[in-house]
Amino acid sequence: MSTSVAESRENLDDLLSDEAINRPFEYYRRLREVHPVYWNPRWNGWIVTGYDAVIAGYRDSDRLSSDRFSGPFGAEMRRSASTFEQLIQFLSRFFVWKDPPFHTQMRLVVNRAFTPKSVEVLRPRVQELVRELTEPLRAGEAVDFLGTFAFTLPVVVIAEFLGVPPEARFEVRDWSEDLGAVIFMRGKEQDRLEKGEQAMRKLVDFLRPIIRDRIKNPKDDLLTRLATNDDSGARLSEEDVIANAVLMVFAGHETTMNLLANMVVAFEQFPDQWDRLYRDPSLEKSATEEILRFDGPIKGLGRWAKEPFEFFGQSIKQGDRMLLMQHAGNRDPQGFDDPDRLDIGRNPNRHAAFGQGIHTCLGAPLARIEVQEVLSYLTKAFETIETLNDTLLYNPTVVSRSLQSLHVKARPR
């Protein structure tokens, strides 16, 4: 193999390269051009970038497992179990990382709370928070959009929905942030497991007495639902309730925070679409879906093969790892016309930002409401929102699409 070919292959196989992190659509386009189901020897698994293949992978829960604590993903976790006891014990109970029947049981518990009809009651509170958090933008000065607005809105909403005491919600947020380095595989943070262990211990110690109190004194919140029943007659264990409360605190703010930041960047690239939405507010829902497609907060999720099978021309072996990159699939010309253009009226828009199949993101209806209300208010209030960062840099993680910082200045209408 020539030096140039070897270097080219090495660049393709580095999932944490500058291109893969900061210019992922270029990187995954190059992968897709080689093959939409690409074997990466450095990661020792398949990288799936084609739209049809991503959708098929998410829907194939019979042959592809989501269980992060068995198969090839589980080996490292099990080796870490003795050192990072609390972290591994509770991460292993996250229902999003499990297969049926446990996944089915847990999803039944939470599903009714996250239906579009159920979360619609939160819209007035979201509107109120958006108005409050927008005030610093009105001064026309530089604002830390990621650290204040995008960070605060979803954490307050999910904390109130769960029933986390208001005085503790930002402390809980900080702990869940430390978990993010583990959950999103931030490979360059060498102490991520140590921080994750400490954060998990604090979250467990904080949530355990609250959950025990909910059993004795039920309230109208999601923690009570988790603690008192699972809609099938069998009560969940206390450890399962704690673990999945931690999951919802984390998932309920981290991804929406990143989506809101990515949204601001996307509209700056296509200012005509910001003006279009101002002129036609009826496009708020389709604009939300287009932001999810164009630059969603999750780049991809892992699966592993429970059996050998053929997949889009590739021979998958039992135990093979697979990364289903919906971020790449959402920019595949085979799935979307002119995929690198933001079109808030795009229809149809069958994006994969929330996954597909039995693991479709449960919190999607809540995330949609938050983005819709932010778009509604910001486009009416501001003519432009300009990013001030000299260079936009993203966190070096395989799974999430998250800016390190985002400072902006808004021009009121």
| Cα dihedral across residues 274, 279, 281, 287: positive or negative | negative
The two structure tokens encoding residue 147: 């650290």
How far apart are the C-alpha atoms of 27 and 399, rounded to whole Å? Answer: 14
Q: Is 230 exposed, middle or buried (0-12, 13-18, 19+ CB in 10 A)?
A: middle
Look over the chain and give the mean of its residue pLDDT values, rounded to a whole number. Answer: 91
pTM score above 0.85: yes
- Per-residue pLDDT of 259-290, as tens digits, reads 999 999 999 999 999 999 999 999 999 999 99
Name the nearest CA neighbour of 146 among 372, 339, 297: 297
The CATH number that applies at residue 286 is 1.10.630.10
Which residue range forms the structural domain that includes residue 44?
A: 3-412
**Residues of the chain with pLDDT > 90: what percent?**
70
> pLDDT of 366-407, one tens digit each?
999 999 999 999 999 999 999 999 999 999 999 999 999 999
Query: What is the per-residue pLDDT across 306-358, written as a single tens digit (0 to 9) for each?
Result: 999 999 999 999 999 999 999 999 999 999 999 999 999 999 999 999 999 99
> What is the count of structural domains for the chain?
1
Q: How confident is the model over 140-188, as pLDDT tens digits?
A: 899 999 989 999 999 999 999 999 888 887 788 788 878 877 777 665 5
Per-residue pLDDT, averaged over 69-96, amounts to: 83
pLDDT in tens, 302-316: 999 999 999 999 999
